[in-house]
Chain A
Amino acid sequence: MLQLDAVDCHYAKVHVLRGVSLAVGAGEIVSVIGPNAAGKTTTLRVIAGLKDVSGGAVRYEGEDVTRRPAFERVRRGLILVPEGRQIFPRFSVLDNLLMGAYQRPDRHDLDRDLATVYELFPRLHERRGQKGGSLSGGEQQMLAIARGLMGRPRCLLLDEPSLGLAPIVVAEIGRTIKALAARGLTILLVEQNAAMALELADRAYVLESGHVSLQGQASELRQTDVVKRLYLGA
C-alpha cells in the first residue's frame, strides 16, 4: 500500500535519510523505532509530503507520489497525525474535528463520523465546546488522532503519539491504535517508546542515523539482543 524506495533526504547539508526503504501492506500495523534524531520524523514528513526527498521514491497505492504536494496526498487518504499534535489551539474541539474533514467531498454530512470518533474518545465529546488549546496533553493527542480519522484515512501515519504523556494515557492511546487496526486501518507508527511500538505492530523497522539497521516481525525483533539492550532496557 505504501512503499519507500531508497529515499535520501537532506536538511541543508545534513544527510538525514540514507537510502531508507520500507513497505506497509494494506491492513498492517508497521512501526519504526529508533533513537532520537535517527530520522523517524523526517521519514513521516517525506511520506506526508511536507519534506522533499533528494533521491528515491515514495509510492502509495501503486502510484508514485514523490512529487505530489501534501494536500493532495491527504485527499487520497494518506493522513499524518504530526509530532507534537499540532491541533488548532483557538478552535473548539468540534471545529478541530470538522477541519479534519476539510478535504472530503461529503464534508457537509459528518454526523456519523463525529459519532464514531466520539465513541472512540468519549472525553472529546465531553469537551467538544472547549478550545483545543485548553486541553491536557493526552486529550490533545486524542484530538489530533480523532482529527486525522475525520479525514477518512486509508493509511494513517502516527508520529510519536506517546510523547510527553503519562503511562496511563499512553496505554489508552495504545488501546485506541489497536482498536483502529482491528477495523482494518493501515497504520505506520513512529515511536521512541519501543516497547509500545513493538507490542502493537505486526512488523517493525529499526532506524539508526538515517538508515534501516534491522527489520522483521515485531515479535521476532523483540527477542533480538540489540533491540533488547538498546530499546527495551533489558
Chain B
Amino acid sequence: MTQLVLGQVLNGAIIGAMYGIIALGITLTFGITGIVNFALGEFMMIGAYATYALAERFGWPYPVAVVPACLIAAAAGYLANKAFFRFTRNNLVNGLLVSIGLISILESAALLFWTATPLEMHFVLPGALRLGEVGLPKMKLVVFAVILAVIVLTYLGLARTWLGRAAFAYAQNPEAAMLMGVHTPRLETAVMLYSTGLAGLGGALYASLYSLEPAMGGVYVLKGMEAAILGGIGSLMGSLWGGVILGVIEGVGSIFLPTAFRDAYGLAILVAILLFRPAGLFGTE
C-alpha cells in the first residue's frame, strides 16, 4: 500500500509539474502581455513530436534532441504571435478564438503527419532508485528536477534582473514602461518565445515518459489552466505548486476512487480551495 501511494504521489508530482510548466507559460503570457494563449498545449505537443522525430527517426541522443525541440516550439510560437496573438492583447474573447482555431489546426496537422496511433520513445534512462520498498524511476526524477530548476530560474530571472523589472513594469502599465525606454514590442515577443519554448520543453520531457498522441495538448492546457488558477494567476511559484498539488490529488485519488473520475476530483478540490482562497493558494489580489 505504501509503495502504491508513494508511487502515485511521485507520478502525480511529475504530471503535476508538467501542468505547472504550462501554467507558468499561461500566467507569464497573460500577466505580462495581457494575451490569453490557451493553445500552449499545442506547443507542448509540437515539442513532444519534434523530440520524438529527432531522437527516434534521426537517431539523435535524447538530451541533444531536447534543445532543438524547444526551439522548434518557440519558432512556432513566434509565428503564431506575429500572425494572430499580438492582435489579441487585453481581449480575452479574441485570444480564446485564436487559441481554439490554432488548437484545431495544429491537432489536425499532427494527425495528418503522425496519425492517431500513440507513439512511444525508447527508454531514455532505464532503472529506478530504491528507497526501502519504494522504487522511483530515474527518468521521472530527472524530469521533475529539470522542471523545478526551470521554474526556479525563471522566478529568479524575473525577480533579480533589469529584464524582469521591465517585464513587471510592462505588466502594470505598458505605456509607462515604453516611456522608461523599454523596447516593448521586443519584450512582448520575448515573453511569447519563452512561454512557447517552455511548453516545448514540457513536451520534450513528456515524450521521454509517456506515449504521444496528437490530442495530448488539449488535456494539458486545461490542467495547466486549473493549476494556474489553483496557484493564483500571476504567481510564478504558485503555478508550479498548483500543478504539483493538482497532479498529486489526481494520482492519489485514483487509488481510492474510480480512475474515470480523476478530472472531476481534481476540479472538486480546485473549487473547494477557491471557496476559501478566491485568489488561489499563492495569489495576492
Contact = CB atoms under 8 A, between A and B. Distances in A.
Interface of A: 48, 50, 70-71, 74-75, 79-80, 82, 86-91, 95, 98-100, 102-103, 107, 147, 151
A48 B180 CA distance: 11
A151 B162 contact: no
Interface stretch (B21-29, B81-89, B163-171, B212-220): B163-171
B179 A80 contact: yes
B179 A82 contact: yes
A88 B178 contact: no
Given A98-B165, A102-B162, A107-B162, A91 B172 contact: yes
B94 interface: no
Given A75-B181, A87-B176, A99-B180, 11 more contacts: A71-B181, A82-B176, A89-B172, A91-B168, A91-B172, A99-B177, A102-B162, A102-B169, A103-B180, A103-B182, A151-B181
A82 B180 CA distance: 11
Nearest to B170: A88
Contact of A88 (B173, B181, B183, B184): B173
Nearest to A88: B172
A122 to B, nearest CB: 24
The size bracket of the interface on B is 10 to 19
A50 B181 CA distance: 12
A151 B175 contact: no
B181 A90 contact: no
A151 B176 CA distance: 13
A139 B172 CA distance: 19
A100 B179 CA distance: 9
27 contacts: A50-B175, A50-B179, A70-B178, A70-B179, A71-B178, A71-B183, A74-B178, A75-B181, A80-B179, A82-B176, A86-B173, A86-B175, A86-B179, A87-B176, A88-B168, A88-B176, A91-B168, A91-B172, A99-B169, A99-B180, A100-B180, A102-B180, A102-B182, A103-B180, A103-B182, A147-B180, A151-B181
Contacts of B184: 71
B174 to A, nearest CB: 10
Contacts of A107: 162
Contact of B181 (A89, A91, A102): A102
A100 B180 CA distance: 5
B166 A102 contact: yes
Contacts of A91: 168-169, 172
A80 B166 CA distance: 17
Contacts of B176: 82, 86-88
A190 to B, nearest CB: 15
A86 B173 CA distance: 7
B222 to A, nearest CB: 29
Interface string B177-220: 11111111000000000000000000000000000000000000
| Candidate in B162, B172, B182 with the most chain A CB atoms within 10 angstroms | B172
A107 B165 CA distance: 13
Contacts of B172: 88-91
A135 to B, nearest CB: 15
Contacts of B183: 71
A95 B167 CA distance: 13
B181 A103 contact: yes
Q: Which of A79, A82, A87, A99 has the most CB of B within 10 A?
A: A99
B182 to A, nearest CB: 6
Contacts of A74: 178-181
Contacts of B179: 48, 50, 70, 74, 79-80, 82, 86
A147 to B, nearest CB: 8
Contacts of A89: 172
B250 to A, nearest CB: 34
A50 B166 contact: no
Contacts of B181: 71, 74-75, 102-103, 151
Q: Which 4 A-B pairs have the closest CB atoms?
A: A103-B181, A74-B181, A86-B176, A102-B180
A48 B176 CA distance: 11
A90 B175 CA distance: 15
A107 B163 CA distance: 12
A70 B170 CA distance: 14
A212 B165 CA distance: 40
